[in-house]
Amino acid sequence: MELEKIKELLDKEPEDAVDEILADVEKRYGEIPYITNFMKDMPEIFISRMIYENSVMREFKRMDPKTVELISIAVASALRCEHCLKTHVRVAKRLGVSKEEIFDSVLIASSVSTAAVLAEGTRSVDNAFADEEQGVPSSANCSICNINSELPEED
């Protein structure tokens, strides 16, 4: 969001600024997402959050809106946020994103999510068995949860 636009918005009465932002969101998304609607009665939080969100999600100059929505779909999928996922799929469809492109972003999210689980899990397994194999006494582990908090060195 351009600085001049932000200044104009901040100079308005809170209710007018909220109404302007809501109209812009509905125009761009074709709907007002639940979180946006929920926060509209809290202008002190809503306005600053929406200025930030507009700068990233709707007025991002280095990526086109379809790419932003595909990333949003991938992240919502990875985080398993059903509500965000449904919203961003609807918006992507309105922007002309194909079912196959949407599915590809879900597949990418799935692959990265799986890699994250594997990375964390295998490091934990290596760490647990490295102590045993190196003869490190169990007292080297956390006295509260009995887990060594040190991760193995990365190569």
Domain match, 119 and 82 both? yes
pLDDT band (50, 70, 90) for residue 54: confident
Domain match, 1 and 30 both? yes
Domain match, 5 and 41 both? yes
Domain match, 21 and 47 both? yes
Choosing from 13, 31, 61, the residue where a domain stops is 61
Domain match, 95 and 108 both? yes
pLDDT band (50, 70, 90) for residue 98: very high
Number of domains in the chain: 2
Nearest to 105 by CA among 124, 78, 132, 128: 78
Range 38-50 average pLDDT: 94
Domain match, 43 and 119 both? no
Domain match, 77 and 54 both? no
Q: Answer whether residue 46 shows pLDDT above 90.
A: yes
Range of the domain at 17: 1-61
Domain match, 85 and 135 both? yes
Domain match, 89 and 101 both? yes
Number of neighbours of residue 122 by Cβ within 10 angstroms: 10
Are residues 107 and 128 in contact, defined by beta-carbon separation less than 8 angstroms?
no
Choosing from 9, 30, 61, the residue where a domain stops is 61
Range 67-83 average pLDDT: 95
Whether pTM > 0.85 for this model: the answer is no
- C-alpha separations of 124 from 7, 63, 130 in Å: 49, 37, 10
- 152: domain CATH number is 1.20.1290.10
Q: Answer whether residue 3 shows pLDDT above 60.
A: yes
Domain match, 83 and 136 both? yes
Q: Answer whether residue 99 shows pLDDT above 80.
A: yes
Domain match, 57 and 76 both? no
Q: Answer whether residue 105 shows pLDDT above 50.
A: yes
Q: Answer whether residue 37 shows pLDDT above 70.
A: yes
Domain match, 56 and 67 both? no
